[in-house]
Amino acid sequence: MRIGIVGGGAIGLLYAFHLTKAFDVTLYVKRKAQLQLIGDNGGITVLHQQTEETREITVKLWGDVNVPEDDVIIVAVKQYSLPELMNSLKKCSKRQSVFFLQNGMAHIDLLSDLINPRIFLGVVEHGVKKENDFTISWTGKGRTKLAHYPKPLPEPSTVDFTEKWTKDIINDFPIEICPDFNEMMMQKLLVNAIINPLTAIFHVRNGELLTNIHYKKTMAMLYNELSLFVDKNKRQETWEHICTICERTATNWSSMNRDIQEGRETEVDAILGYLKKLAISRGESVPITEFIYEAVKGLQDMK
């Protein structure tokens, strides 16, 4: 079974490294320089705790691919890079499956254009930092959650993929199949909506949102406003989950904070922007969310 991973960022490198232990994996990157560096350095290197391991990987330029022929295509680019990939993904056949691993939920609006392939949505709970074009630091071991979209019955090729993942590498790289994509993704979206923008604005590591009483109050204010998207019976549970994620990733810099500091575009539109539009569509007012959104956009424009 052939697995194609699109995107040479931190997530793409992490998944290529681990999945190549069980599958025939090809990593598709955008830049020739990255392709060359991965080849020259013997593959992808992962730093984890006190260990360092390099694994060989097949690498190709995405621009050289007209129609991806892999059985399973894992899309690991940032949310804002998806539109330029859609023309190629539209050409996928019914025998293929496409997995989307983006933050936020704005990309769901693009999925209606994919008529043939089986679609999965994923949530990444790992902590990972890109050190260079061929090296990443795996800062926190988590899980990959997957759900069918909208809710199709799996066919043998898809079952084989998830079963082989579960059988061969689940201890090193856990996977969980979820029955409801919306509940799965909304929970992760709320985690990202609270932690990422606030750590970007305050320029702090995740854990400081809990240890600084004023930052934690800001967290609570934003969550209280966004809790309109959470079942009333699960609001306390969801808040505790967000705090737990903060605690588990206490020493990590959020991806949005790193994007701001390194002058890159953030995913604030796919995260807070999506929730802001969803609230407006429901006739709800979310002034704190709008303020945080505009603050991040302002920081982004300054870089």
The set of catalytic residues is 188
**Which residue type does 212 have?**
N
- How far apart (Å, rounded) are the C-alpha atoms in residues 120 and 66? 22
**77 three-state secondary structure:** coil
Up-side HSE of residue 211: CA atoms within 13 Å toward CB? 10
For tokens 């998830």, what's the residue? 162
Q: Around Cβ 81, how many Cβ atoms within 10 Å?
A: 16
| Residue 179 preceded by cis peptide, ω within 30 | no
* HSE value, Cβ hemisphere, 13 Å, CA-based, for 185: 24
Instruction: Yes or no: say if 59 and 35 are a contact pair by the CB < 8 Å rule.
Output: yes
Helices 287-302/274-281 angle, 10° precision: 150
Helix (H) or strand (E) holding 245, with range, is: helix 235-248
Q: Are the CB atoms for 90 and 114 separated by under 8 Å?
A: yes
Strand 135-140: give its sheet, edge to edge: 51-55, 44-48, 135-140, 127-132
Residues comprising the chain, all counted: 303
CB 21 within 8 A of CB 172: yes
| Contact between 120 and 100 (Cβ < 8 Å) | yes
Sign of the Cα torsion 161, 167, 171, 172 reads negative
